[in-house]
């Protein structure tokens, strides 16, 4: 967790994005609850699938501490629907096709993959408290061990 991050301790940037069912979800929908808001590069890719399935498998534990999980990527609604169905995901996936919310959370960045540079989402997770304040920032997330970090910060 990075307490030196500029978003740590700040009010979480608001968002209003459609989920996998086309339902508009906003930050205010989670008021009074902790929120694990995670940004990931692409549906149904190895790292993103491992991360999503980890959140799925721990969803009850996360809920027991009064938190909800929401994933965000630039994929469209039909991609999110297929991804959720294929892996029986139990939480909403929001579509941010223009990267608007990803930019507000400073996770839309220049990435370098196999020597090719392109803009994309840098895997990141934010813990937002019941009052909408960011109490946890995890950037450049490595999937292995990340779930344990998130669970530790929620407790």
Asked if the model's pLDDT at residue 114 lies above 80, the reply is: no
Domain that holds residue 94: 16-154
Q: What is the model's pTM?
A: 0.93
Residue 75 maps to a domain: yes
- CATH number of the structural domain spanning residue 51: 3.40.30.10
Residue 11 maps to a domain: no
State how many domains the chain has.
1
Quote the pLDDT of residue 61: 94
Quote the pLDDT of residue 3: 78
Quote the pLDDT of residue 1: 62
Give the active site residue among 48, 107, 121, 127: 48
- Is-catalytic flag, 48? yes
CA pseudo-torsion sign 82, 83, 86, 91: negative
Share of the chain above pLDDT 90, in %: 85
Residue 64 maps to a domain: yes
SS3 152: helix
Instruction: Assign 58 a pLDDT band (cuts: 50, 70, 90).
Output: very high
Rounded average pLDDT over 92-119: 90
Residue 96 maps to a domain: yes
């Amino acid at each position: 967790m990075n307490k030196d991050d500029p978003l740590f301790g700040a009010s979480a940037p608001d968002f209003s994005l459609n989920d996998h069912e086309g339902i508009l979800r906003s930050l205010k929908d989670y008021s009074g609850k902790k929120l694990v808001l995670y940004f990931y590069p692409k549906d149904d890719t190895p790292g993103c699938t491992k991360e999503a399935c980890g959140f799925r498998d721990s969803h009850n534990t996360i809920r027991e501490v009064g938190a909800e999980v929401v994933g965000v990527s630039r994929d469209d609604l039909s991609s999110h629907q297929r991804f959720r169905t294929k892996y029986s995901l139990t939480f909403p996936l929001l579509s941010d096709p223009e990267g608007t919310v990803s930019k507000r959370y400073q996770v839309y960045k220049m990435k370098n993959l196999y020597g090719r540079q392109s803009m994309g989402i840098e895997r990141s997770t934010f813990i937002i408290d019941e009052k909408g304040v960011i109490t946890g920032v995890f950037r450049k997330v490595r999937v292995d061990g990340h779930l344990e970090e998130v669970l530790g910060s929620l407790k």
